[in-house]
Amino acid sequence: MKRKRTSEPVVVKRDTSLPILQKSNEILSALAANDVLILVSDTGSGKTTQLPQIILDNAPNSSILITQPRRVAAITVATRVAAERGATLGDTVGYAVRFENKSSRTSTRIRYVTDGVLLRETLTDGFSALKRRYSHLIIDEVHERSVNTDIVLGVVKEALEPSGSPATKQNAPTGLGALLRSKLEFKVVLMSATTDAEKIAQFFRNGTSLNVKQLGISGIMHKVNTMFATEPVADYVDGAVEAALQVHTGYSNSGHILVFLPGQEDIMSAIGLLKGKLRHRFSKEQRRSVIILPLFAAQSPVEQLRAISDLPESMRATHRKIIFSTNIAETSVTIPGITYVVDSGVAKVRTLVPQNGLYTDVLRVQPISQAQAEQRKGRAGRTGPGYLFRLYTQDHFNKLEKYPIPEILRIDATSTQLQIIALKHFGRRRPEQNHLRFSMLNKIPRHARERALETLYALGALDKNMKLTETGELMARIPASPMLARSLLESLRLGCIDSMLSTAAVLSVEGSIFLRPSNKLEQAKAAHRRFLSPCGDHLTLVNVLHAYLQRAPTRKTEFCKDHFLNHRTLSVAEDVRNQLSVVMQHGDMVSWGLTHPFPPAVMEELEESGMEDLVRRCLVSGFFRNIARRRNEDGKYVPIGNVKAVGSFEQGVDVHPSSSFRAFRQRKIPSLVIYDELVWTTKMYIRTVCSIEHAWVPLHSSNYFKVRNFGVDETAPSAALNSRPG
């Protein structure tokens, strides 16, 4: 007899008192009368979970796409909404994030995706497919102003413009679907907590005939008692731990504590510190009622859910959660039962710093904006009166920026620039969209734009007229940075796709693959030794991943434990590898490899190269910006691919202490290396480094370097982009 699979959907009750549900009629009529609705209300008022349901309940033929800035938000919210509707996740309610799709083309009516997924799908299917497939597009958390959200807003503005051309009709769905859909129009909703809604409204009105409506709905925020520090806190980790401890001991009523800290390292050290202090002051029995949990982006969804989800009923009265989180808990996810919030006042922000002649994408701890501080506050007043402890003074708060600085103004623009050019390019190929413009809320700053265009040109993604090439089209379709995408393409013509896929996977994961517990450091180092590659870190990591992939699923945990490896990171790497592998097997990719062969002389040379050489050649073709040369005088490296102007960087950098080069007994010191990132800790380091050969550079880095100068210190990226537009 066949065993029946039991996949009974979980059911939870919808909270009918949520402000958004109270105002559903007002929202529906605003939606009916306008093209774009900007909906602003406090976090927790029901925007993300309720609005799609309101739309679907009102018009059952609707098909709704909602973007979220983070994977974990898309997954948890879809899970919650499916439960509220008594549906199986992936059926009427589903989600899609970068490496996972739990939705169905035919039956999913409410689909939560990350904004990255929306961009990818627009790139592959086009703007018009978006309009055909969905009746409603909801962009959530617009206030975060991530680059992806900003590009999506540009895409949406474009998609909203009526094309008026008969070409659209030819692509329209036929049959019953068309009959039903033709009654619906494409509507866009932008949702946010605190935001500069007027700026966004203006953006959509500007140069269009769109009807744009702003609607604010007041939440049900309970009173939050706010306490400021009376003087600046010297160390925010110590300060946060002390505050959490005081709340735990001084405020006896129940309610969880949420502590905002900038990043993973701070969170882990705060947890260590708090545990130590608790051990000192409480008995084992008392400590059992405190559950301390971290929450940050690099965790697996399962780990994140542990922090986010409610305690079992039986534990609620007796146990208290203390959650140390990054700004992930600021808006997009709901953690039930928070009464106390401790706000460090800082967040980690990625910023491109053109400084000392070097461009560095650094994660820096920076003060948050007033809008973010208010969001953090709101987390304490969801279910009843709450308490907020700000580890900064009232005066400091008054001086903060009003809103966060949009990501597009801060980061390296190479990926963004390629996406924008590709979106325009694909749009133009469709006859009904030859009017295509592409406007954005904020332009990419000039220095970042120039550097991006120069890089894309050197990668072969753009031609001299800054038009997308065939290579660029393919690069835009690979879900990885342009540098990594180019290396993957190179591997198709060098015949080392398998190893390059592994390299791409280990470079794509956040967090370290090697574990180095301080109490077993020597043991860990010894275990890591067996993976060492003399070529450097990239290939060492590939050795680890390959060993991991060879283990049977049931042996993987044990393998990681024995070798001091991070199982979570490796399993993510495996997923990434599988996903990229599917993309790279596409016929267009394979034929690119076949139609771009090297000259016969080079082919001969390649035939004698081992896998490790081939992979490093691929890295040169993508990461030439990250080439560094060792200086004889002091052994420091000069990042020659990164200089803004010849000779303007003299400081030199060291190889990061974690590098596999440091593990060799007689240190092999390569004269030329390629690195994955420049990091600032106590000083500047290059991290994830492998050696390369001089001869590879002119062959694989096309026109980035002035080839004839290569080999002397004046080497500089070719500034010979004479015909740069704008």
User: What does residue 214 show for φ and ψ, rounded to 5 degrees?
Assistant: -100, 135
| First CA to last CA distance, the chain | 71
Q: Determine if 76 is a binding residue for Mg ion (CB under 5 A).
A: no
Q: Determine if 691 is a binding residue for ligand ADP (CB under 6 A).
A: no
Which one of Mg ion, ligand ADP, none is in contact with 451 (Cβ closer than 5 to 8 A by kind)?
none
Q: Which of 43, 163, 372, 660 contacts ligand ADP by CB under 6 A? A: 43
Minimal CB distance residue for Mg ion: 48
Q: Determine if 45 is a binding residue for ligand ADP (CB under 6 A).
A: yes
Q: What is the DSSP letter of 191?
A: E
Q: Which is nearer to ligand ADP, 14 or 630 (CB)?
A: 14
> Are residues 503 and 536 in contact, defined by beta-carbon separation less than 8 angstroms?
no
Q: Which of 658, 657, 663, 687 is nearest to 673 (CA)?
A: 687
Q: Which is nearer to Mg ion, 141 or 432 (CB)?
A: 141
Q: Which of the stretches 37-45, 312-320, 426-434, 443-451 binds ligand ADP when contact is defined by CB under 6 A?
A: 37-45
Buried residues in 493-522 as b, exposed as e (16+ CB within 10 A): bbebbebbbbbbbbbbbeeebbbeeeeeee
Q: Which of 9, 10, 11, 15 contacts ligand ADP by CB under 6 A? A: 15
**Coil, strand or helix: which one is 437?**
coil
Q: Which of 34, 49, 122, 415 contacts ligand ADP by CB under 6 A? A: 49
Structure tokens at 159: 């998609």
Question: Interface mask (CB under 5 A) for Mg ion, residues 105-144, using x and -?
Answer: ----------------------------------------
Distance of closest approach, residue 332 Cβ to Mg ion, in angstroms: 6
Q: How far is CA 535 from CA 514, 540, 652, 669, 710, in A?
A: 18, 8, 22, 11, 22
Q: Which is nearer to ligand ADP, 113 or 505 (CB)?
A: 113
> Are residues 316 and 211 in contact, defined by beta-carbon separation less than 8 angstroms?
no
Q: Which of 279, 1, 62, 23 is nearest to 185 (CA)?
A: 62
Q: Which of the stretches 41-49, 343-351, 487-495, 525-533 binds Mg ion when contact is defined by CB under 5 A?
A: 41-49
Distance of closest approach, residue 9 Cβ to Mg ion, in angstroms: 23
Which residue type sits at 654? D
> Are residues 658 and 677 in contact, defined by beta-carbon separation less than 8 angstroms?
no
Distance of closest approach, residue 260 Cβ to ligand ADP, in angstroms: 17
For residues 177 and 107, what is the distance between their CA atoms, to the nearest angstrom?
12
Rg of the Cα trace of the chain? 27
For residues 642 and 707, what is the distance between their CA atoms, to the nearest angstrom?
16
Q: Which of 24, 48, 375, 540 contacts ligand ADP by CB under 6 A? A: 48
Q: Which of the stretches 43-51, 352-360, 498-506, 604-612 binds ligand ADP when contact is defined by CB under 6 A?
A: 43-51
Q: Which of 152, 13, 112 is nearest to 332 (CA)?
A: 112
Q: Which is nearer to Mg ion, 80 or 486 (CB)?
A: 80
Q: Determine if 44 is a binding residue for ligand ADP (CB under 6 A).
A: yes
For residues 659 and 662, what is the distance between their CA atoms, to the nearest angstrom?
6
Distance of closest approach, residue 47 Cβ to Mg ion, in angstroms: 5
> Are residues 533 and 539 in contact, defined by beta-carbon separation less than 8 angstroms?
yes
Distance of closest approach, residue 668 Cβ to ligand ADP, in angstroms: 52
Q: Determine if 48 is a binding residue for Mg ion (CB under 5 A).
A: yes
Size of the site for ligand ADP (CB under 6 A): 16
Please report, as residue ranges, which positions from 276 to 335 form the binding site for ligand ADP (by CB under 6 A). Answer: 334
Q: Determine if 69 is a binding residue for ligand ADP (CB under 6 A).
A: no
Which residue type sits at 586? H
Which one of Mg ion, ligand ADP, none is in contact with 635 (Cβ closer than 5 to 8 A by kind)?
none
Distance of closest approach, residue 289 Cβ to ligand ADP, in angstroms: 22
Q: Determine if 46 is a binding residue for ligand ADP (CB under 6 A).
A: yes
Distance of closest approach, residue 12 Cβ to ligand ADP, in angstroms: 7
Q: What is the DSSP letter of 426?
A: H
Q: Determine if 163 is a binding residue for ligand ADP (CB under 6 A).
A: no
Q: Which is nearer to ligand ADP, 47 or 187 (CB)?
A: 47
Residue 340 neighbours by CB distance under 10 Å: 25
> Are residues 219 and 45 in contact, defined by beta-carbon separation less than 8 angstroms?
yes
Q: Which of 336, 384, 431, 511 contacts ligand ADP by CB under 6 A? A: 336
Q: Which is nearer to Mg ion, 47 or 70 (CB)?
A: 47
Please report, as residue ranges, which positions from 379 to 398 form the binding site for ligand ADP (by CB under 6 A). Answer: 382
Within 282-413, residue ranges assigned H as helices are 284-287, 301-308, 370-378, 394-399
Q: How far is CA 645 from CA 208, 215, 717, in A?
A: 42, 50, 9
Q: Which of the stretches 38-46, 228-236, 608-616, 664-672 binds ligand ADP when contact is defined by CB under 6 A?
A: 38-46
Structure tokens at 200: 């966004």
Q: Which helix (H) or strand (E) holds 37?
A: strand 36-41
Q: Which is nearer to Mg ion, 154 or 378 (CB)?
A: 378
For residues 516 and 522, what is the distance between their CA atoms, to the nearest angstrom?
9
> Are residues 573 and 508 in contact, defined by beta-carbon separation less than 8 angstroms?
yes
Size of the site for Mg ion (CB under 5 A): 2
Which one of Mg ion, ligand ADP, none is in contact with 50 (Cβ closer than 5 to 8 A by kind)?
ligand ADP
Distance of closest approach, residue 76 Cβ to Mg ion, in angstroms: 11
Question: Interface mask (CB under 6 A) for ligand ADP, residues 601-630, using x and -?
Answer: ------------------------------
Our CA angle for 83, 329, 350, nearest 5°, is 130
Question: Interface mask (CB under 6 A) for ligand ADP, residues 79-108, using x and -?
Answer: -x----------------------------
DSSP per-residue letters across 692-706: --TTHHHHHSTTSB-
Q: Determine if 76 is a binding residue for ligand ADP (CB under 6 A).
A: yes
Distance of closest approach, residue 194 Cβ to ligand ADP, in angstroms: 12
Q: Which residues bind Mg ion (CB under 5 A)?
A: 47-48
Contact residues for ligand ADP, defined by CB under 6 A: 15, 18, 41, 43-50, 76, 80, 334, 336, 382
